[in-house]
Amino acid sequence: MANLIIRNIPNAITSCNLISGCIATSYALYGRFSAALLFIIIGAVFDFFDGMSARLLHVSSAIGKELDSLADNVTFGVAPACMVLTMCKLCAYPECLMGVKAYLPYIALIMAAFSAIRLAKFNLDTRQATSFIGLPTPANALFWASLVVAYQRVFMREDEPYWALILLAGTLVFSYFLVSDLPMFALKFKNLSWADNKIKYIFVLTSIVLLVFLGISGIAAVILWYLILSSILSLKA
């Protein structure tokens, strides 16, 4: 009995991630964006600990891997996509697009589909043991969730009818980065030397500054900085 409980601890934590994603999605559809962001963050915490617990308990399984991807797609794919969808429903639109206003927000759901593809690629790609290929789904989710929370009043301004189109175009761009072959560094330190971890130290220090001065919007700024820095490093490689 004890062994059965121990074997299922990681799956139970993953299920908590899945439940957090479902709650975040529900809040997102009702326009309660701060609560949705909170549960995406809670899901990210569970996502961190399910893998750690599986390694510590030596109980990794194929079922756990599939369950993890399912939970991640809900929390980091469907939930942020629904936040953007709902946000775009609340935005003003140019007069020429009023006839399709009711349909355009659903473009945001492309993000959920591309997040699923990203997770499937991650499961099969052996190159991603120590770094990432393409934008990780948690990073993408935190970018959009924090952006919506921080600037929802700006996006809803009646005198600026193009924010919805900008947001939807942004989701398409980020969806591309999710499944791209862009190498992105992981914050894993094999040692503490400056020479071996210079880029990581610079990223961490600048991220702290962004979070301190920008607050919630700093989360989006950090993710954007992560994407830009990874792109620069890729071009230099």
Q: 35-74 in b/e burial notation, b at 16+ Cβ within 10 A?
A: bbbbbbbbbbebbebbbebbeeeebeeeebeebbbbbbbb
How far is Cα of residue 67 from the mean position of the Cα atoms in its chain? 17
- Average pLDDT, integer, range 188-193: 67
**Confidence at residue 51, expressed as pLDDT on a 0 to 100 scale:** 74
Pairing, β 183-184 against β 132-133: antiparallel
Question: Does position 129 have pLDDT exceeding 60, yes or no?
Answer: no
Band (190; pLDDT cuts 50, 70, 90): low
Question: Does position 77 have pLDDT exceeding 70, yes or no?
Answer: yes
Q: In angstroms, rounded to a whole number, what is the distance separating the alpha carbons of residues 84 and 168?
A: 8
Tell me if the domain spanning 2-184 has CATH number 1.20.120.1760. Answer: yes
Give percent above pLDDT 70 in the chain.
89
Residue 98, burial from CB neighbour count under 10 angstroms (0-12, 13-18, 19+): exposed
Band (94; pLDDT cuts 50, 70, 90): very high
Band (48; pLDDT cuts 50, 70, 90): confident
pTM for the whole structure: 0.91
Question: Does position 29 have pLDDT exceeding 70, yes or no?
Answer: yes
- Average pLDDT, integer, range 169-180: 96
Residues near 23 by beta carbon (within 8 Å), at least 6 away in sequence: 39
CA distances from 194 to 57, 189, 200, 205, 232 (A): 33, 11, 9, 13, 19
Report the DSSP beta bridge partners of residue 184: 132
Which of residues 112 and 187 earns the better pLDDT score?
112
**Confidence at residue 167, expressed as pLDDT on a 0 to 100 scale:** 97
- Average pLDDT, integer, range 72-87: 97
Would you say 9 and 56 are in contact if contact means Cβ atoms under 8 Å apart? no
Report the DSSP beta bridge partners of residue 183: 133
